Structure 1
Amino acid sequence: MASAPKDQCIVLPFHTDRHQPFNGTGLALHFLLGNVLVLHTGLKEMWFGWRVKKIFADRQSFQDYCRDAASTLDLTAVSREQKVRLWLYGNCSDQTLMLSLYDARMPDAVHPPENLAIYGDDHLIGFRTRFVEWLAARGFPLPEEQVQAALWPEKISRDGLDAVGRALEVFYVYSAYGGQGPLDGSAFKKAIAAAPESFMAQDLYGWARYRNRDYQAARGAFLTSLSINPAGAGAMSGMMWCGVYGKDREEAMFWSGRKADVLRQDVQAAREAGRQRYLKANP
């Protein structure tokens, strides 16, 4: 088996164009592309949500970055601190995403931004196809066997993207900076109402229920999301953790192995890792 990849890539939230009021679309597209990149077998799994508080020291600086198109990060410094090589960032308007790449190995290299059209009648398949082509042109091709898995039909409207992005912001703030009492589920229910057939909306609702330790409801949402996107690695992680804390060892092992299979990793090693997580949580 090939050695495990070491390079990581973080997709930062995309700013709303400075000439437009804040809209959740940039956050939703950030989440969408994160769910594409996780399938890249040449990159080590990395989610922005794991590093929110390490990149943004407080809630205000995080929200300022999401909501102010003029807000920037010193990617040279942040990349060094986080030990992450690749960063995707940009601005989005009603119709397009202006996407840029920062590569810490070549900090002075000029990578012209790419203007990707967002909308169409193809459930964002064309948008992701152009993103995959853009990655390949910059030397990071998504392996051919993973491309189709990255192009599930994401049935979501403009209002749905806005609702998903706003719910994601709520989730990041609560997860990174804490909150008083349970996570308020209203933003996640709005996302489901706006986009009931969206993988992202269902997956995010599953994580919201998981945060509130409602593992049965979380399972239902994760399974719905996986019926839309069978390669949803994040949702599979959610199912694994529901098995761990819901005291179902076989479920934890199954979904840990299933995720590894989708990511072209060692299934037996992943099943054992799932078993060890279960035993640690349930001594």
Structure 2
Amino acid sequence: MASTPAYALIATDLDGTLLRGDDTVSDRSLAALARVARAGARHLVVTGRPAPRVRPLLTRLGCTSLAVCGQGAQVYDARAGRLLWSVRLDRELAETALGKVEAEVGQVYAAVDQDGEDGLTLIEPGYRMPHPTLPAVRVGRRADLWAEPISKVLLRHAELSDDELAAVARSAVGSLASVTMSGPGTVELQPSGVTKATGLALAAERLGIGAERALAFGDMPNDIPMFRWAARGVAMAGAHPELKAVADEVTVSNEDDGVAVVLERLFPAA
């Protein structure tokens, strides 16, 4: 009789974790995820990217399950091609929070991810996309960012580091929004109380899987709530020090297939 796998749910971040720097998933990682599926465990993508920016990757991964998108603000059903759950960031609160940040550090450059299955990423003048491969629409002025409902705001500063900007933003914004850092050049404001952990918990509940059987992989501070929720958290070799500090294990880099290295150990070939 086949043994029951130690983990029934494998939650992987994308950028800096499952994906290589060129936005691809290696054959080795795909093979490791196939092992997970054959063992009866579920793989869930848990990413800061909004659902519309994730769909092509889910197709490449052959994912027909759920995906947690937008830093936990969205739970997307890949098989049905629709959002099961989403939380919006109030646009007036977002604009107020942005003003509070600028009162402390001067001008910042902003972008927003619109809510919805077909929401766009809008960027104001001066904002540079951290991932140039991701599509975005440039608007003429900041007021245009608030034209439609949004799920989050992305911030960049000309001089401050991501850590410095995130620290100032947390102090300035307070309870108006949650502040997180999800990658180089990516400080974000999202609905208060929403994290990758809240979205993952909702998805796991729909699948009937508890946190005690969940294994999470990540590389940035936005993965900390997910690590604290899951039974075990594995950080990539190049992960942010804050995430490494709470990780149960550190694997090799995403370029060296760190996710696959761990999964091959936990899910041996049949």
Q: Same fold (TM over 0.5)?
A: no
The TM-score with structure 2 as length reference comes to 0.31
The TM-score with structure 1 as length reference comes to 0.30
More helix by share: 1
Larger RCO (CA under 8 A, 6+ residues apart): 2
